[in-house]
């Protein structure tokens, strides 16, 4: 078994906070990572898989006593609850997940983007966000006006996707 990855646990999105709180009380005291995967092309429903990676960490002698990864399947509607109260670093990580995927968290409606800028339109790591898309502030590549038909149309790539 991959010890760095830990055991996989699937949790219903509506109960993420309870499940993570229970794990934290069990001794999983460090939130190692929080990320998301978009399964749109694989037609999974709901499309997103939010992953919380926890470590049972011994702060005395710095031993890793075991890891667990908690998967929550969600759509873009706010079902997940924020875990900022359990791990303060979740604040930034949730902002990143929202920024990149548009996954919202129920108890933080006014969430800020982390990596992209305020005026950015869309969520870039979604599978339906074209990699060559240009943003309003950047402007069209060819000098076209933003409302011209050729604006924001992705050129075919080498792979033909």
Contact positions with another protein (CB under 8 A) in 135-154? none
37 binds another protein (CB under 8 A): yes
User: Considering only residues 19, 51, 73, 106, which one is a binding residue for another protein as defined by CB under 8 A?
Assistant: 51
Shortest separation between residue 147's beta carbon and another protein, angstroms: 25
Rank residues 64 and 144 by Cβ distance to another protein and give the closer one.
64
113 binds another protein (CB under 8 A): yes
5 binds another protein (CB under 8 A): yes
**What's phi and psi for 95, nearest 5 deg?**
-60, -40
15/80 Cα distance (integer angstroms): 8
In the sheet that holds 63-74, the strands lie side by side as 7-10, 63-74, 48-58, 30-38
125 binds another protein (CB under 8 A): yes
29/57 Cα distance (integer angstroms): 6
User: Considering only residues 116, 135, 144, 151, which one is a binding residue for another protein as defined by CB under 8 A?
Assistant: 116
Rank residues 14 and 153 by Cβ distance to another protein and give the closer one.
153
The answer to whether 48 touches 30, Cβ cutoff 8 Å, is no
64 binds another protein (CB under 8 A): yes
Closest CA to 43 of 128, 147, 144: 128
User: Considering only residues 28, 48, 52, 87, which one is a binding residue for another protein as defined by CB under 8 A?
Assistant: 87
Residue ranges that bind another protein, judged by CB under 8 A: 2-5, 29-33, 35, 37-38, 42, 51, 53, 57, 59-64, 69, 87-89, 91-92, 100, 113-117, 124-125, 129, 131, 157-159
């Amino acid at each position: 078994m991959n010890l760095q990855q830990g055991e996989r646990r699937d949790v219903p999105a509506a109960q993420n906070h309870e499940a993570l709180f229970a794990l934290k009380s069990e001794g999983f005291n460090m939130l190692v990572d929080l990320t998301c995967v978009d399964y749109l092309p694989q037609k999974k429903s709901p499309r997103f898989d939010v992953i919380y990676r926890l470590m049972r960490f011994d702060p005395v002698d710095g031993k890793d006593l075991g890891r667990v990864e908690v998967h929550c399947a969600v759509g873009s509607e706010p079902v997940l609850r924020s875990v900022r109260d359990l791990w303060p670093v979740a604040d930034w990580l949730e902002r990143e997940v929202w920024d990149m995927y548009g996954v919202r968290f129920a108890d933080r409606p006014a969430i800020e983007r982390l990596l992209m800028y305020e005026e950015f339109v869309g969520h870039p790591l979604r599978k339906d966000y074209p990699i060559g898309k240009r943003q309003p502030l950047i402007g069209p590549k060819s000098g076209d006006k933003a409302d011209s038909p050729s604006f924001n149309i992705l050129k075919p790539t080498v792979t033909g996707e």
